[in-house]
Chain A
Amino acid sequence: MPRQLSEDEIVQTYRQTIRPLYVYVLRRVGGDVSLAEDLVQETWMRALDAWPGKGVPNEPLAWLVRVARNVLVSHFRRTQPQLVDPSTLDLEAAAPVADAPDMAGVVSWALARVRRKHADILEAFYFDGKSIAEIARDRSLSERAVEGRLHRARAVLKKKLSRIVIGVTEHARPTRTP
């Protein structure tokens, strides 16, 4: 049954989470401020839909980030990115793509179309800028296992990207350890 939300509690939660949530979304839309603001707002509207029934979660930021991810996936499933120049798309690069709008848009578009297990590891690598060692530590895996998973996830990503980037598979270099 819907219950009353405490305005003070919601505002306090909002103040505590808005910046990390915004950064999370902004990275995934390649720095497109207007789109990031829309998606953050959409995320919060969903929180206001869900919280009267379930209450404010214990880890509101984690909840918001999870929902923001769904919002991003929904958004990128609805959109079709512009064709990109394959020479600008380097999937083997260690640098995160957060500040390259075209690249981030394309990767987000493809991530919305791959399985969650692949998307998770690719997001950690591309958008959160984590190293193989950090990803391995977070997931309690060996670095070798992470490399293998990243390799397989990249292959899936490339397959998806081949729809919009002509010749991406021919341009991509062999996998290297970042």
Chain B
Amino acid sequence: MRDQHEPRDEFVERLQSTISHEVRRRNSLTESRGWTPRWQMKAAAGMAALVIVSMAIGGAVVALAYQVQDNERRDSLSAVYLRQFQLAQQRLQLAQAEVQTAEQRRVTGLGTEEAILESRQKVAEAEVAVKVAQLQLEEVRLTAREPLNDVSSPLASGRDFVTERWRIERTVPLLALELERTRLRVAAQRFQLGTADSLEVAAVEVRVSDIEAGILAFSQKIDIRQRFLKGEFDAAMAGLRVQEVMAEQRRKALLPKVEFAQKGIQQAQAKFATGMATTIEVNEAKLRLLQLQTELAMTDLELALVRRKIDQLKGK
């Protein structure tokens, strides 16, 4: 039986994994900084001199200085994030005013239903931005450091800010999906009436698939985060799983785009045959398809590499 004063094994393992991940992340940041300009080195030397002088003042001040430094960092970071929060609130007010204008224009027959939906979408996005900024501010005030958004970020005083933020951010594509589905219905009706062609409908279908893939990826990321917190995944595995999800998302979004680009070539060739399009337009359509196919091949390669790394990690 475990001694009640001993830390839980899963806690020890999880924290070790978090620390290892953090060390690797910080080391990679240090590496990427590379060459330091001369003036920065001078500034660093000046700073070092200042630190030495400060240290000479006496060891007794160290503990107090630590506390003060911590509070100063917290205050300056909080000020930055408070400003971001206030800006987000101002943007929300502007977006709300835009909805009112769009609704008034609709009543007077000048605006469209789609314009109202778009302005409501902007309000929803602004609301999400306010909530995210508020969470960031809370995290900074609680931890005195920049908010962390990695799948393996540690909890902050028991709070999982990462999942909270992701859940809020997920509402943006959910609302966008609603808007695109409305557009799809309208496009389908127009197609039946003969006022729109099949390519117009296909374009909206591509956007719907794109958003659906994004929503699924968000849900999967949240699931990976939960499994990391439960100790089912270590930091390295959680990071790889998220890479896999993101590559899958890109793949799912690219497939309908490739199909759409193929239809675009067919339509351009048909138009060319009747003299309504030039060879430039046909070649542009072909180039678009080629670009998308290259992107798809790169995504497939990335997915294969990530999966191989996952298998290697499982095998350890």
Q: Which residues of A are interface residues toward B (Cβ below 8 A)? A: 1-5, 7, 10-11, 14-15, 18-19, 22-23, 26-27, 31, 33-38, 40-42, 44-45, 48-49, 52, 66-67, 70, 73-75, 116
Complex Cα–Cα for A10 and B15 (A):
12
Q: A11-B20, A27-B5, A48-B23 are in contact. List 19 more A-B contacts (CB 8 A).
A: A1-B36, A2-B26, A2-B30, A4-B30, A5-B26, A7-B23, A11-B19, A14-B16, A14-B19, A22-B7, A23-B6, A37-B7, A37-B15, A40-B15, A41-B15, A44-B15, A49-B145, A67-B66, A74-B67
Q: Say how far B26's CB is from chain A's closest CB, in angstroms.
A: 6
Q: How far is the CA of A172 from the CA of B54 in the complex (A)?
A: 44
Q: Assess the A5–B27 pair: CB atoms within 8 A.
A: yes
Inter-subunit contact B155/A41 (CB<8 Å): yes
Contacts of A35 in B (CB 8 A): 158
Residues of B within 8 A of A4 (CB): 27, 30-31
Q: Are B16 and A45 in contact (CB under 8 A)?
A: no
> Do A34 and B18 have beta carbons less than 8 Å apart?
no
Within 176-218 of B, Cβ neighbours of A (below 8 Å) are at none
**A54 → chain B closest CB, angstroms:** 9
Which B residues are closer than 8 A to A by beta carbons?
Answer: 4-8, 11-12, 15-16, 18-20, 22-24, 26-27, 30-31, 36, 44, 63, 66-67, 70, 143, 145, 154-155, 157-158
Secondary structure of the A contact surface, majority rule: helix
Q: Cβ of A45 and Cβ of B30 under 8 Å apart?
A: no
Question: In this complex, what residue of B is CB-closest to A70?
Answer: B66
The 4 closest A-B pairs by CB, nearest first: A22-B7, A7-B23, A4-B27, A5-B23
Identify the closest chain B residue to A34 (Cβ).
Answer: B158
B145 touches A45 (CB 8 A): yes
CA distance A7 to B27 in the complex (A): 9
Name B143's closest neighbour in chain A (CB-CB): A42
Query: Given the complex, which residues of B lie within 8 Å of A75, measured CB to CB?
Result: 157
Chain B residue numbers with a CB within 8 Å of A33 are 8
Q: How many Å lie between the Cα of A3 and that of B30 in the bound state?
A: 7
What chain B residues lie within 8 Å of A7 (beta carbons)?
A: 20, 23-24, 27
Q: Is the CB of A45 within 8 A of B5?
A: no
- A residues within 8 A CB of B4? 31
Taking the closest CB of chain A, its distance from the CB of B17, in whole angstroms, is 10
Q: Find chain A residues with CB under 8 A from B16 CB.
A: 11, 14-15, 18
B15 to A, closest residue via Cβ: A41
Q: Please, how many angstroms separate the alpha-carbon atoms of A49 and B70 in the complex?
A: 11
**Which residue of chain A has the shortest Cβ distance to B11 in the bound complex?**
A37
Neighbour of B70 across the interface among A10, A37, A40, A74, CB < 8 A: A74
Report how far A37 CA is from B14 CA in the complex, Å: 11
Question: In the complex the two chains form, what is the Cα distance from A5 to B109 in whole Å?
Answer: 66
Residue of B at shortest CB range from A22? B7
**Which residues on the B side are within 8 Å of A37 (C-beta)?**
7-8, 11, 15
Interchain CB contact (< 8 A) of B63 among A5, A18, A70: A70
B149–chain A nearest beta-carbon distance, Å:
15
Q: Contact: A66 with B158, CB < 8 Å?
A: no
Task: List A contacts of B24 (CB < 8 A).
Answer: 7
- Measured CB to CB, the closest approach of chain A to B43, in angstroms, equals 11
B12 touches A18 (CB 8 A): yes
Q: Sample 20 A-B pairs with CB under 8 A, ordered by A number.
A: A1-B36, A1-B44, A4-B30, A7-B23, A7-B27, A11-B20, A14-B15, A18-B15, A18-B16, A19-B7, A22-B6, A35-B158, A38-B158, A41-B154, A42-B157, A45-B143, A45-B145, A48-B19, A48-B22, A49-B145
Inter-chain contact A38/B155, CB cutoff 8 Å: yes
Name the one of B6, B22, B63 contacting A66, with C-beta atoms under 8 angstroms.
B63
CB distance from A79 to the nearest CB of B (A): 10
Contact A48 B26 (CB under 8 A): yes
CA distance A74 to B155 in the complex (A): 17
**What are the residues of chain A within 8 A of B11 when measuring CB–CB?**
37
Bound: A23/B11 CA distance, A:
14
Q: Shortest Cβ distance from A47 into chain B, in angstroms?
A: 9
B65 to chain A, nearest CB (A): 11
Q: Of residues B15, B31, B154, which shows the largest number of chain A Cβ atoms within 10 Å of its Cβ?
A: B15
